[in-house]
Structure formats: C-alpha cells, structure tokens
Structure 1
C-alpha cells in the first residue's frame, strides 16, 4: 500500500483506518463511522471534533499489528470476539481497547479469554495444565481490574487442583509476574481454596457503563477477512447489551 496515497472522503458512511504497521508498511481498512464512534470516545473525538480527521475521515492507527485490527473489526460488526486459543492475541486486543477507550471490547475480551482458558483446562483435566507462559504477556497488555486478568486469576484459583500450584512453572510464574501473584493471593484469601468442583460463572464480572447503548442499524462485515476490503455491505440490526 502506498504510504503517500491520497485518501478521499468516502460517501457511504464509512471512514478510513490508516494502519501503520511496525515495519512502516501501510494497510487500509474501512469501517462505518457511526459504529466506530459509538464504540470509542477517542475515535468519536477525532472524527466528529475539530481535528483534521473530521474533514479527511481518515484516522492513522499506530503500534498495532494487522491481526489485532482484524480482530477489532470482527468484534465491531459481530458484537463478539473472534474465538481463538491464542491468549496473547486476546491480550493485544485488550491493549487496543485501552488505547481507544473501548470499554465493551475489554469486557468481551475477558469473557472470551475465560472461555478459552476453561476449555483448555477441561481438555487437559487429566493432567491439569495452565498457560503459564502467556501470563506475563497478558499482564503486560492489560491494566489492574481488566476482565482478562480476572479471567486468568479466576481459572487459576477456582479451576485447578492443588497439585498444579506446587509445580515449578507455577511457582516461577507467581514469583516473576508479581501482579499475577498478588491478584492470585487476594483471590485465594477472599474465598476458600479447596473447591475443585467450583463452577465459574463467566458472566460474574461487572459490566462497563456504556451511556451510548442503543439499537442501531449497521452493515455486516464480508466473509473475506482481507483487511484492505473491510467495507461492510448488508444492513442488519446490532444489539447493544443492557444491564
């Protein structure tokens, strides 16, 4: 993609995300302005304020990889996170949500991560594994109180047996990722430890306050996932969650 490309203002309600990748290459995605602005007050300020972006309808996004943008547009149009077994991928999406103040995305990322973690633990229940290698990156891409951190701590404390706690990789993770160790200690002190049959309610996390929750008409993302062609086409109704 030519970095010097002249972006013209689109007349179909979409705006341009100009994605500057770590290798300085530029990729382009088109998303609907109304949907983007309702999701993010940062994008809303840029596109509907007095900044240049409000005229050009183009926003440059930096320090984000292409997969994260694809995952974001998937969430934006489907109202749910794309399922993946890659916890670090969820963590990067969580960081993107932090960058653009997208509270519902952070919440949904945490629930998706919790589903992935529980499925992984159940699948390996005979030997009780846990994704210790991913914990530092999850914490590096999140902040205190994030749902994705709560997901990690909840599964570690409530879904694993005591034998896992005593393993070398568990002790190393707790001692090297101090925030995780602290969160685990707080959760363990708050509840009983001996509960192998404890069932985690994936909806037991506080929902973010979202004053813009409304029903809206949007257009669905096409089946092709090529980022240069993220221009939705078919109108449909999008439901925003309410408490």
Structure 2
C-alpha cells in the first residue's frame, strides 16, 4: 500500500520516445500534479481523493497504442473509462484481437501520432498542450490540430475530450474563424448533429461582418461542403430574426447536444453473445450509428 505522504515522484508511463512523470508536492490538503510529456509541462492541483485514483494506476495493466513504428503505452482502465470503443476492444467479452494482445493498431492515414500524444496528455492531466498561437498563421494551424483531434475523439467516442476541444474552438472563434482545411475536416468526418459543426457555422454567422460575404473567399468557404453553407444560412436567419442571442455571449457548453450531456464515456458497446471474430471497423460503425 503506497501512502500519499510518502510519494515524491512516480513514473507512470513510458513510450518509445517520451516519458511521463508525475511529481507530487504535498501542501496542506492539496497535492500538486506535474506531468512532463514531450517537453511540455502541465500543472494541476488535485485533492487527496483524486490523487488516490492516480496512485491506483500503479497496479493497473498497461496497453499499447501503435501507429506505424511508433508506440505509446497507457494504463488500460484510464483509457477504457474515457472510451467505450477502447473498453470493448481491450476488456469486452468478445473475440477482438486487441483483447488478446492488448495492442491497438491505428491506421496512419486516419490518425496521426500527434493526436495520440495529445490523447495521452489529456488522459493523465485532463488537459492537452498545443503550441501557443503567436500569429494568425499559428491560429489556423491550431484550428487544424484541434479539428484532427476532434475527428479522432468523434470516431472513438471520447465524449469528454470532444467537449474539451469545443471549449478551445469556442475561445478561438471569438477572435478568428477557421479556414477551409479545418472546416472540411470537421464536416467530412462528423454527423449532421455534431456540436462542432454548429459551433463553426455559428461563428461565421454571428462573428463575421456582412461585408465579408461580398468577398471571393466567402464564396469559396461556404461552398467547401454543402452542409456548411446550409448551416451558416440557418444561423444567419437566427441572427437577423431578433429572437436569438449571440451564442458567443454565453458558454461553450451551450453547444453540447442534450444527448452528449447525458451520455457517459464509459458506456459499453453491446456486441451480443456472438463469439465470432468481429473487426474494430464493425464496432466503430456501431458506435457511430449510436451517436446519430
């Protein structure tokens, strides 16, 4: 039994190229958690109860996330609690290859190593670190990174991570709207009901001046995906009806759908009693259908 009072530093995760360490400083009734991942640092104050949960990870099995030649190792219960897809893959009563090998293989054409690293950061610190947006070009690069991470969270039903990304989108859109690449990423890889779609469309309808719509760039962006132009038109109707408040005067959480507020990340995928070899593609399809 590890006592919280005795812990100063615990290494909880090692990958092929990076190391995450947890340094615990006890000050009064609070413990400070410092994680070091990929040369970025995150500080988070935890109460004793939260710290006990982190200490439990010391005896938790570790699983492997593999993409091409890169591997990340993460505590299984932490990952499974965040995503019903990973829970079914690693612990479900099924015949998934991942259940036997405890290795999850990703297709590099669909998922980037950067998204996986951000996922691991978020799992352990409830936060993720993107490069600071020093200028307008960095802002648009940040949008693209967030869009990639959101699409990943959408596919693997990591609801709390999706909400965290929407918070970041909401902050950015109060200053600058995303360009073509992130708009296409979101609209081509999310369902019609996606709160991230609504957020982007609302940003263009409520935060852009009407003179912008006379520009050639406006036509190009509005035509980049048929649903995007329609969503912006709907939001413009709300703006000029006089019956709706600017959504950016409220909170980012206003964009969460009712179903997502109620949905639990730890919901188990129902694979039935069929013991055949079922592919992860089938599971992902079932989870996506469940969200629509």
Are 1:102 and 2:158 counterparts? yes
Aligned residue runs from structure 1 range 44-123, under 5 A: 44-49=87-92, 50=94, 51-62=96-107, 63-83=110-130, 85=139, 86-119=142-175, 121=176
1:1-243 mapped onto 2 (5 Å cutoff): 12-20=59-67, 25-49=68-92, 50=94, 51-62=96-107, 63-83=110-130, 85=139, 86-119=142-175, 121=176, 130-134=177-181, 135-192=183-240, 198=246, 200=248, 201=250, 202-206=252-256, 208=260, 209-211=262-264
The verdict on how the C-alpha distance between 1:179 and 1:54 changes in structure 2, with shifts beyond 3 A counting, is same
Which structure is larger by alpha-carbon Rg, 1 or 2?
2
> Which residue matches 1:222?
none
Instruction: Flag the structure with higher helix content.
Output: 2
* TM norm structure 1: 0.68
Two-structure CA RMSD over aligned residues (Å): 2.9
Give SS of 1:101's match.
coil
Change (3 A) 1:145 1:80: farther
Cα deviation, 1:153-173, whole Å, max 9, x if unaligned, reads 121111121111221101121
The CA deviation at 1:81 is 4.5
Residue number in structure 1 paired with 2:135: none
State the secondary structure of the residue aligned to 1:131.
coil
The range that moved more, 163-172 or 57-66, is: 57-66
User: RCO higher in 1 or 2 (8 Å CA, sep ≥ 6)?
Assistant: 1
Return closer, same or farther for 1:110/1:71 CA change in 2, 3 Å cut-off.
Answer: same
Equivalent pair of 1:111/1:151 in contact (CA under 8 Å): no
The total of aligned residue pairs comes to 192
Q: Deviations over 1:51-70 (max 9, x none)?
A: 34234322222231111111
Distance in 1 (CA, whole Å) between partners of 2:76 and 2:191 is 28
SS at match of 2:106: strand
Q: Which structure 2 segments of 5+ residues have no match? A: 1-14, 17-57, 132-138, 267-292
Q: Structure 1 residue 199: deviation in Å?
A: 6.1
- Looking at structure 2, the residues matched to 80 and 39 of structure 1 have their Cα atoms a distance apart, in angstroms, of 13
**How does the TM-score come out when normalised to structure 2?**
0.58
Other structure's SS at 2:223 match: helix
Do the aligned residues in 2 keep the contact of 1:17 with 1:30 (CA within 8 Å)? yes
1:165-211, Cα deviation, whole Å (9 max, x unpaired): 2211011211232111011111122332789x946122212351233
Query: Is the contact made by 1:91 and 1:141 (CA closer than 8 Å) also made in structure 2?
Result: no
Cross-structure match for 2:271 = none
Task: Return structure 1 stretches of 4+ with deviation > 4 angstroms.
Answer: none
Are 1:17 and 1:29, in contact at CA under 8 Å, matched by a contact in 2? yes
Deviations 1:7-33 (Å, cap 9, x if unpaired)?
A: xxxx8424333322xxxx321111111
SS of equivalent to 2:254:
coil
State the shift of 1:44 in Å.
0.5
Deviations 1:109-159 (A, max 9, x none): 22211212223x3xxxxxxxx433332233223332222212211211111
Give unmatched runs, 5+ long, in structure 1.
3-10, 122-129, 214-243
